[in-house]
C-alpha cells in the first residue's frame, strides 16, 4: 500500500509552516488549492488564518461541499485555530452580513470564534495534552474555544478551563498553533492517525 498523501489547504494562513512541520513528522505533504488537488489527497490540514475569509474562498473555489462530503465519509483532517473553527459542526460568533464562517462538520462540537480574543488577543502557555508525557507549549492568537463536545469527542487539552484540543475519530483540532513552535508531536500524532497508527 502506498503511503497516505496529506494535503495542506493553501488558501490563506500558515500553509508553509504546516508543510514543513508535516515533513519533519515524516510525511510528504502537498498544498491543496483546487478541487482536483483535494481529490488526490487522503487527508487534509486546515491552517489558522481567518475562518470567515477561508469559508468564502472554499465556497468560491467549489471546495466547501466536496470537503463536507469527504468529512462525512471519514476523511482524516487536522485544523488549527481557524481550521478548528471550520471543522466544527456549529460556530458561535461566526460573523454576519454574508461574511460568516461556515462549518464543515467533521467534529460534533460547538466552537466560539475569537473566544479568548475578547479577553486577551494572544497568549502562550504550557498545557497538558492527552497521550503526551510532557506539556505542549501552546500559542493562541485570537483563538476559539470549544463550548460543547458531542459524545464521540475526546478532549485532549484545556486552557483556562476551556477545551482547546479535541479529536473525533480521524479528525483532530487545536485552538492553538503548533506549527509556530518546534515541537512536532501534534503533527506526528496526525500523521499516525492518517496512517492508522493512533
Ligand atoms: N480569529 C480567527 C478566525 O476567526 C482565527 C485566528 C487564527 O487562526 N489564528 O478565523
The reply to whether 37 belongs to the active site is: no
51 known ligand binder: yes
Domain boundaries 5-195, corresponding CATH code? 3.40.50.880
Atom of ligand 1 nearest to the CA of 13: 8
Average pLDDT over residues 38-50: 97
142 known ligand binder: yes
Encode pLDDT of 107-137 as tens digits.
Answer: 999 999 999 987 788 999 999 999 999 999 9
Q: Could you tell me the residue ranges of all domains in the chain?
A: 5-195
Give the 3-state DSSP-derived string for the chain, with helices as H, strands as E and coil as C: CCCCCEEEECCCCCHHHHHHHHHHCCCCCEEECCHHHHHHCCEEEECCCCHHHHHHHHHHCCCHHHHHHHHHCCCCEEEECHHHHHHEEEEECCCCCCCCCCCCCCEEEEEECCCHHHCCCEEEEEECCCCCCCCEEEEEECCCEEEEECCCCEEEEEECCEEEEEEECCEEEECCCHHHCCCCHHHHHHHHHHCCCC
Encode pLDDT of 54-112 as tens digits.
Answer: 999 999 999 999 999 999 999 999 999 999 999 999 999 999 888 899 999 999 999 99
Atom of ligand 1 nearest to the CA of 85: 10
pLDDT given at position 22? 98
Asked if residue 113 has its Cβ within 6 Å of ligand 1, the reply is yes
Amino acid at each position: 500500500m502506498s503511503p497516505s498523501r496529506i494535503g495542506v489547504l493553501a488558501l490563506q494562513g500558515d500553509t508553509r509552516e504546516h508543510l514543513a512541520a508535516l515533513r519533519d513528522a515524516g510525511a510528504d505533504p502537498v498544498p491543496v488549492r483546487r478541487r482536483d488537488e483535494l481529490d488526490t489527497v487522503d487527508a487534509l490540514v486546515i491552517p489558522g488564518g481567518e475562518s470567515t475569509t477561508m469559508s468564502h474562498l472554499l465556497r468560491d473555489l467549489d471546495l466547501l461541499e466536496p470537503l463536507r462530503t469527504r468529512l462525512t465519509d471519514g476523511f482524516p483532517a487536522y485544523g488549527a485555530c481557524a481550521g478548528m473553527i471550520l471543522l466544527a459542526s456549529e460556530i458561535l460568533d461566526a460573523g454576519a452580513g454574508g461574511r460568516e464562517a461556515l462549518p464543515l462538520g467533521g467534529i460534533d462540537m460547538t466552537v466560539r470564534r475569537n473566544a479568548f480574543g475578547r479577553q486577551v488577543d494572544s497568549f502562550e502557555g504550557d498545557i497538558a495534552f492527552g497521550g503526551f508525557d510532557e506539556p505542549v507549549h501552546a500559542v493562541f492568537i485570537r483563538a476559539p474555544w470549544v463550548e460543547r463536545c458531542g459524545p464521540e469527542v475526546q478532549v485532549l487539552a484545556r486552557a483556562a478551563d476551556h477545551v482547546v484540543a479535541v479529536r473525533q475519530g480521524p479528525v483532530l483540532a487545536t485552538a492553538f498553533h503548533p506549527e509556530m513552535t518546534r515541537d512536532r508531536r501534534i503533527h506526528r500524532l496526525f500523521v499516525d492517525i492518517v496512517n492508522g497508527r493512533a
